[in-house]
Structure 1
């Protein structure tokens, strides 16, 4: 029977669930030290059992929220760092300017200087009239050429919206079904939501907290993970990302499709994991649930009925 004493190293450690390479560097160094000194090591730790380091293939809803935030922040940060805003200096003249107008402008200045000294103002007025006429003609022809160059429906629709846009109006009171009007912004928003989103569920701020919301989620089964792994593949994600117009307006996360499309090679594994987890847990990260709804009055509608907006 072996007798005597042995040295034992005991440590307490925290393994963050949002790090890419657990365990922490301090724990790694301690393990190396004990191994080199042939010491026994006992570690008590708080670790995320769903991390891939432990061989897990899934993540919980808390990790899903963190993953979505981390990916979004990384995309936006990389964009701002590599594409900083800068003022563009453009010395080019307007698109409708041409050599004929350049010559006429020089002639106008010449006749003006002569009129000041010799009093030939009639000659100056004639050349000025001709110059203004040619400017209007050049602008009109340039605009016609621009309109003729529009070949797709999206560009035409965008131009139509810009030309027909009216000053933005603040949504005020709307008429209820009983003929009375709403007295507050909260009442107006509720009626508009009931009209345009009839299946919506209104929750208060307390219920929207992550802890209260995610506590009701059910852990996915192995069959569920097998299904989403087959459903969400690299080809499916690539097809979905490339289906958007590159510079479609982003949401509150500031991520427009071009950022995903140009970075798809680096983001693919993260997006696949994120989409699979979202489907398996039946959980949408909070950033994805934030939308901005703008109610636009329908053409020809001047009343305050909720259905007069779209």
Structure 2
């Protein structure tokens, strides 16, 4: 039995049906640019040289290249976000941004362990324990006032 006709008749169509070709998405992030690409390639190239055991690269070189790439990445993301926010003009775009920003879930304080080994059972108990711990020796009302003024 020859393999080529078998592959042509059965394997290829089965493969094409199971793994259809997909179009590549044209969606790109706004903050990615050529300098970032160059810095990333340099950092990766340095890491590959280290892994292959070349003497011309060291871990300090890689860390410096990676640090520079991350620094530029953060700056680029910030400037991209700033540009996106300043370009908002229509109400639907602004409403969408507000929906994204307000979608964050706020985490509640769970139980905290007291010095005597017991656990708090309510959020009020957690807050009192935090006030006692961070403002020890002061009355609760004074500590609450300081905590409130620090929050503002």
TM-score range, shorter chain: 0.3 to 0.5
After TM superposition, the score normalised by the length of structure 1 is 0.24
Higher Cα Rg: structure 1 or 2? 1
Greater RCO (CA < 8 Å, at least 6 residues apart): 1
Structure with greater helix percent: 2
Structure with the higher strand share, 1 or 2:
1
